[in-house]
Chain A
Amino acid sequence: MATSSSATLSKTVKQQYMELPQGDKVQAMYIWIDGTGEGLRCKTRTLDFEPKSIEDLPEWNFDGSSTSQSEGSNSDMYLMPAAMFRDPFRKDPNKLVLCDVLKYNRKPAETNLRITCKKIMEMVEDQIPWFGMEQEYTILGTDGHPFGWPSNGFPGPQGPYYCGVGADKAYGRDVVEAHYRACLYAGVDICGTNAEVMPAQWEFQVGPCEGINMGDHLWVARFILHRVCEDFGVVASFDPKPIPGNWNGAGCHTNFSTKEMREEGGLKAIEESIEKLGKRHSYHIRAYDPKGGLDNARRLTGHHETSNIHEFSAGVANRGASIRIPRMVGQEKKGYFEDRRPSANCDPYGVTEALIRTCLLSEEGDEPAEY
């Protein structure tokens, strides 16, 4: 069966419990990124009050030896609340709380890229950097096969599925609809959705977000997606190339602009940034998936609307390039540009930080600078 047993538990029964009043008590679900740099973990605690801002939320800790983040003999790690959202699963007044992970010595955990990203964003605050990320993903059954595909087989070739409608073209739209609504409720800046080129593949976009908010909103949107899929009994995969062969991969195209780029004549600043990016291709490739480029090697082939991982290229309206300048931007001579290289399973903190370092702090070479 493609869906999980849990999904068949009675939702009427569940509803009866979820409607019970909870008095003054509030549930806060703490969310964090685990040792893989891709996986999300969560646990809940009861508060005696409704937190109004992130400062109201206490620090917590967890067993890092169970999330590939520490050894059993010295396993405590710290959770520092960083961003708060409404909980679309348990509803008001309950909260979702995205956290920074610190090691026992209070230094950032290996996969905590948020701390450095935040520092970098603060350095360029006055340039008002905006991001928009296009998160692609594939829905799988619990058997690991794309949801809706015939067991042990394949659907008709790509062509009719992109933005498609109809039971023979759109697989799993319920997940997309539920996720969109849940993000709106939670306060995540979701700006759109569409069906993608491969059947059972979808995309949602988050943004425009300024600075550190991009990473925060995208990680919470991913958590909400996993939770919604869990409720339906299917699995969301951010693998950049879930099916080899003549099937699209999944990316996280990242749109970027500064105040200067958005104003009259901004195209000049856009072209300067692209010039700098052209000189630092391998540094960016390393930052654009959690395995230093190995995941993207399966996806960035130069086919299926990707650029080749070995070469840097840019062009107006060119989806086969590393960087695409939207045609409208080319015409109005201002706006933003799209970096098409990041993998669907990238860390948005790592991606946005890399763009700032190269384009705004003018860094060069393979290593990030220390400030």
Chain B
Amino acid sequence: MASVSLSSRLNKAVRQQYMSLPQGERVQVTYIWIDGSGEGLRNKTRTLDVEPQTIDDIPEWNFDGSSTYQAEGSNSDMYLVPVRMFRDPFTQDPNKLVLCEVLKYNRLPAETNHRMNCNKVMEQVKEHIIWFGIEQEYTLLGIDGHPYSWPTNGFPAPQGPYYCGVGADKAFGRDIVECHYKACLYAGVNIYGSNAEVMPSQWEYQVGPCEGIEMGDHLWVSRFLLHRVCEDFGVVATLDPKPMTGNWNGAGCHTNVSTKQMREEGGLEFIEQAIEKLSKRHKEHIQVYDPRGGKDNMRRLSGHHETSSIHDFSAGVANRGASIRIPRPVGQEKKGYFEDRRPSANCDPYAVTKAIAYTCLLHSEDMEESEEENIPAM
């Protein structure tokens, strides 16, 4: 079959025989990190003699950065610093998945390590108890690069019946979605929900609510789980924001935001203030809402297909064509959260959440330059 990988057709019963072998006291820990592209994930595994109970039990490690677009061969060692631990749904308890920050040889953050600065900002705004929820859209592709289950060399019927659809002529690849959801629940990733999306073979899941730095951590690990589940089935998940040109939806990472003040009575006032601040920094945000300074989003934010135009900032209640949408219940109850619909599906959630927290809670137009230097700039 053209669309699934050879690996996926290896005998899974044989695999199961080995995977059910007991492993004694020893534990496998898989270290996960973001590579030099800012989108790709890498992983390698080591054995520990004892089950780690907390993140502090997991040692630092290192890897060859010249093989991940992150360093030169002559000076290639890079550091892996464990930051958050999850259960491993692939090899199961007591094994672990460990998300890591990458440091260069001189212990400074690697270029695509946006977590470090995000964490600094989140520490500074801690008293606001900022919550995020991110809606991760993605498209399933066959190993031939064509959307999974689309007719070879062709297209399915136009969009309309697929969003939240059911049936073999409407939902393509649901097994992956079901397994990914279970894997996230097992691992301890804060998965909130899932649904089929507007374009066939496109799906969405939501992670949150997460406070501060946790948003980026949980979203990156959920992406790793997605790629691993797809690998097991022999298909590919792409986070490209516009995988099919023409009259087909793109893929975003709508980011829902609230602070303690916004969630309390009369919070709508703080929501509107935040939107006002965001409206003045549209260009700065667009630059960090995809890994290519806005170039990826140019293909997606057209003003059609439920997107706003990349050139203009807009906001509105229940308006899916605006940059910022205020959900209708929030407009009615006068408190809650708002949705920034601009981030691309392949965005770095650390960069996105940092920008939002900074603009809404820290940035001030008449800030002294010296003050700004203490806050990681965008």
Contact = CB atoms under 8 A, between A and B. Distances in A.
Contact of B167 (A3, A13, A236): A236
Interface stretch (B50-58, B65-73, B192-200): B192-200
Most interface-central of A6, A21, A40 (chain B CB within 10 A): A6
Interface stretch (A58-66, A115-123, A299-307): A58-66
Contacts, number: 157
A21 B186 contact: yes
A46 interface: yes
A12 B13 CA distance: 8
A20 B174 contact: no
Nearest to A60: B193
B375 interface: no
Contacts of B179: 13-14, 17-18
B316 interface: yes
Interface string A216-249: 0000000100110110111110000000000000
B23 interface: no
Contacts of B319: 72-75
A206 B196 CA distance: 29
Contacts of A74: 318-319
A27 interface: yes
A326 B8 CA distance: 55
B182 A20 contact: yes
B220 to A, nearest CB: 19
Interface stretch (B41-49, B117-125, B320-328): B320-328
Contacts of B329: 61, 76
Contacts of A155: none
A230 B171 contact: yes
Interface stretch (B157-165, B293-301, B347-355): B157-165
Nearest to B161: A39
A18 B182 contact: yes
B318 A76 contact: yes
A75 B233 contact: no
Contact of B182 (A17, A39, A62, A68): A17
A20 B186 contact: yes
B321 A73 contact: yes
Contacts of B306: 63, 65-66, 72
Contacts of A153: none
Most interface-central of B161, B169, B319, B327 (chain A CB within 10 A): B169
Contacts of A22: 182, 185-186
Interface residues of B, number: 58
Given A6-B172, A90-B178, A142-B169, A66 B232 contact: no
B257 interface: no
Contacts of A25: 185
A20 B168 CA distance: 25
Contacts of A167: none
A63 B319 CA distance: 10
Contacts of A233: 168
Contacts of B1: 5, 8
A63 B137 CA distance: 15
A10 interface: yes
A127 B181 CA distance: 46
A11 B8 CA distance: 11
B149 interface: yes
Contact of B164 (A9, A41, A90, A234): A41
A172 to B, nearest CB: 13
A4 interface: yes
Interface in B146-191: 148-149, 160-161, 163-176, 178-183, 185-186, 191
Given A9-B4, A10-B12, A76 B168 contact: no
Nearest to A232: B168
A74 B318 CA distance: 5
A42 interface: yes
Interface string A19-31: 0111101010000
Contacts of B178: 14, 17-18, 89-90
Given A63-B320, A65-B306, A74-B318, A234 B168 contact: yes
Most interface-central of B1, B3, B235, B318 (chain A CB within 10 A): B318
Nearest to A21: B186
Contacts of A18: 178-179, 182
Contacts of A10: 8-9, 12, 232-234
A229 B168 CA distance: 7
B214 to A, nearest CB: 16
Interface string B219-244: 00000000001001111000000000
Interface of B: 1, 3-4, 8-9, 12-13, 16, 89, 92, 142, 148-149, 160-161, 163-176, 178-183, 185-186, 191-196, 198, 229, 232-235, 306, 316, 318-321, 327-329
8 contacts: A20-B186, A42-B164, A43-B194, A43-B196, A45-B193, A72-B319, A72-B320, A235-B169
Interface of A: 3-14, 16-18, 20-23, 25, 27, 39-46, 61-63, 65-68, 72-76, 89-90, 104, 142, 223, 226-227, 229-230, 232-236
